[in-house]
Amino acid sequence: VLFTTGGSDAVEVALRIARAATGRFKTVSFWDAFHGAGFGASSVGGEATFRAHIAGPLLPGAEHVAPFHCYRCPYGHPGPENCGLACAGMVGYALDKESDVAAVIGEPMRATPQVPSPGYWKQVREACDRSGALLILDEIPTGLGKTGTFFSFEQDGVIPDIVVLGKALGGGVLPIAAVIARDDLNVAGDFAIGHYTHEKNPVTARAALTTLGIIEDEGLVERSARLGRRALDRLKDFTAKSRIAGDVRGRGLMFGVEIVADKASREPAPDLAEAIYYRCLDAGLSFKISQSCVLTLSPPLTIPEDDLDRALSIVEDAISAVEAGAA
């Protein structure tokens, strides 16, 4: 376990460990992913905001493939039922073509949010094992119970070689992140991997220990799973009757509603999403819009149940009002 002061630095450390352990330097990662704002993190990330103009040129050997996105499959499939996991297959294809890849790095569940199809990460894990590449999973936004299990990857039946944690690790107050790796990857003792001034700060370490203790003692992982199921069921029931709520998806207390012009075309509707967002703000609810039209809801593990219900009511009322105005 290595500590850093933030997720971007932790991703940099994970990449260096992969290089040291494999003797390789290339990576395979995903377009639209976010792994931090550092140089290496931006290189393996896939958001234009962190890669364009003054950001480049970035690290050599940082190859990208399209991410999993069942509602808007980049490979043109209508849904996960008949796609043959084309998105996972492309990871294997890239590893076959780039035979000297050190690591595949990805988000087990994308925070936008996007949930992988069953079997996706198992197929990627198998491709990594065949090629000798390590699998790094970035659990910075999804870990510590946010998705209803302590790690999101538990729901996919895989074990990565390296896990990156952050954000909630410091209790939402103090800056600390961590890199957790297989013991046999401890091969870089002679190199300065990390070496940040405050990486082993006793105050932030105490905050992390306290956070982990509270999560365990108060059963917050199980609570996240229970409240998340209830929230998703409620939103799915509501959106089944909505013309502009195209998709509801998520895990635990990380879920979202994609706003579209109509369900048949699935055309993104950023103007409608923004109108819904401002109605929610006026009613006292703040959240983030992802990918221009996804209402991204990520309540804390400790949210009171009545507050969660109130938040969902605000979202539902705002969608209904905007839909009525757009009719």
pLDDT digits (tens, 9 = 90+) for 161-183: 999 999 999 998 999 999 999 99
pLDDT > 90? residue 194: no
41: tokens are 């993190």
pLDDT > 90? residue 326: no
pLDDT > 80? residue 73: yes
pLDDT > 70? residue 327: no
pLDDT attached to residue 142: 98
pLDDT attached to residue 55: 73
pLDDT attached to residue 195: 78
Residue 256 is classified by DSSP as E
pLDDT in tens, 105-117: 999 999 999 999 9
> Phi and psi for 92 in degrees, rounded to 5?
-60, -40
pLDDT > 90? residue 290: yes
pLDDT attached to residue 231: 98
Band of pLDDT at residue 318, cut at 50, 70 and 90: very high
Band of pLDDT at residue 31, cut at 50, 70 and 90: very high
d(CA 309, CA 200): 40
Domains and CATH numbers, the chain: 2-217 (3.40.640.10), 220-326 (3.90.1150.10)
Question: Which positions ≥6 away from 9 have C-beta within 8 Å?
Answer: 36, 38, 177, 194, 196, 199
